[in-house]
Structure 1
Amino acid sequence: MKMYQLYAEQALPISMEEAWDFLSNPTNLKTITPDYMGFDIVAGAESNMFEGQIIQYIVTPIANIKTKWVTEITHIKDQSYFVDEQRFGPYKLWHHKHFLEPIEGGILMKDIVDYKLPAGVIGQMVHPYLVKPKLKEIFEYRADKLNSIYGTHSDRRTVLKLKSF
């Protein structure tokens, strides 16, 4: 079974506190998700993130097919990182690490998503045509949205890489 990884980084001209306040609030995920995804939080976003928190979403990633997605926040270090893992949803495995680090004039946000697709060989066959481009589009949208909210950092650093193992 093939494993895939998405790596993204983005520099933002904001303080660590401002970045953490935004990113550790689950309701803000809707703000940085494309509207066509029909992203709605069903339960679990009543407070800022904490270890063990279960958050339930409904998303409509393709062909208006509503999909339930349940994640657990498994690790948190205040103003440094958090990890969300899919407990139920469209992927066989989804492990998303979010890191924040201070840089001159702002913060560097890094995401590492390790994921596996369901359906064996069929999942592997659709990955380059459906999943990979969709994830690329979602993370590019997120980067653009964060730049529109907070401005662009002077080094304009935005990186997005997808690879398989």
Structure 2
Amino acid sequence: MKSYVLKTEQAIPITLDMAWDFFSSPLNLARITPPDMGFVVTSDYAADTKIYPGMIITYKIAPLLGITMNWMTEITHVADKQYFTDEQRFGPYAMWHHQHHFKEIEGGVLMNDILHYAIPYGIIGRLSNSLFVANKVKEIFEFREKAIEGIFGKMQRT
């Protein structure tokens, strides 16, 4: 099985506490996901629920052609205000391992994401990744960056 990696970095002009509060709430993920993904958190969590190791989060998504499917991830690792990791337990990927890292910097927070994923179905999956999945994943993270800027503003370069 071939795996793929996507790394992103974004500076956000907010405090580490604010960043952690926002990104460690499962319900905020829908706010930074493209509307065409039909992304809905189906887990019954209160708005102030924060992630913890072992937390299971369920969603409905429509990643391709508007076809809705179920997705389940588990929060496997959490270091308060430093990083957390979510891994797919059920869903469209053969493997999904997404690390979210946060570091306080002058004027805000540097957020790094490291995503490892794999597509099922062997050669068909590899072809699918080349033709559209890799671009779709990249578009999701590009949308996310713009959505975060819309919520928190853009970090001023010095």
Alignment TM class, shorter chain as reference: over 0.9
- Of residues 125-134 and 87-96 in structure 1, the stretch that sits farther from structure 2 once superposed is 125-134
Unaligned runs of 5+ in 2: none
State the secondary structure of the residue aligned to 1:10: strand
Counterpart of 1:87 in structure 2 is: 89
TM-score under structure 2 normalisation? 0.96
Contact 1:44–1:53 at 8 Å: present in 2 too? no
User: In 1, Cα distance between the equivalents of 2:9 and 2:66?
Assistant: 30
> 4+ runs of 1 displaced by more than 2 Å?
none
Structure 2 residue 19 is matched with structure 1 residue 16: no
Match of 2:110 among 96, 108, 111: 108
Contact 1:16–1:106 at 8 Å: present in 2 too? yes
Counterpart of 1:26 in structure 2 is: 26
Counterpart of 1:129 in structure 2 is: 131
May I ask how many residue pairs the two structures share in their alignment? Answer: 156
Match of 2:67 among 65, 69, 73: 65
Counterpart of 1:42 in structure 2 is: 42
State the secondary structure of the residue aligned to 1:30: helix
Q: Taking CA–CA contacts closer than 8 Å with sequence separation of 6 or more, which of the two structures ends up with the larger relative contact order?
A: 1
User: In 2, Cα distance between the equivalents of 1:20 and 1:32?
Assistant: 15
C-alpha RMSD of matched pairs (Å) = 1.1
CA distances 1:92-129 after superposition (whole Å, capped 9, x unpaired): 00000000001111000000011111000000011122
User: In 2, Cα distance between the equivalents of 1:155 and 1:2?
Assistant: 38
- Structure 1 residue 44, shift from structure 2 partner: 4.8
Structure 2 residue 103 is matched with structure 1 residue 97: no
TM-score under structure 1 normalisation? 0.92
- Structure 1 residue 155, shift from structure 2 partner: 2.7
Match for 2:52: what amino acid?
F
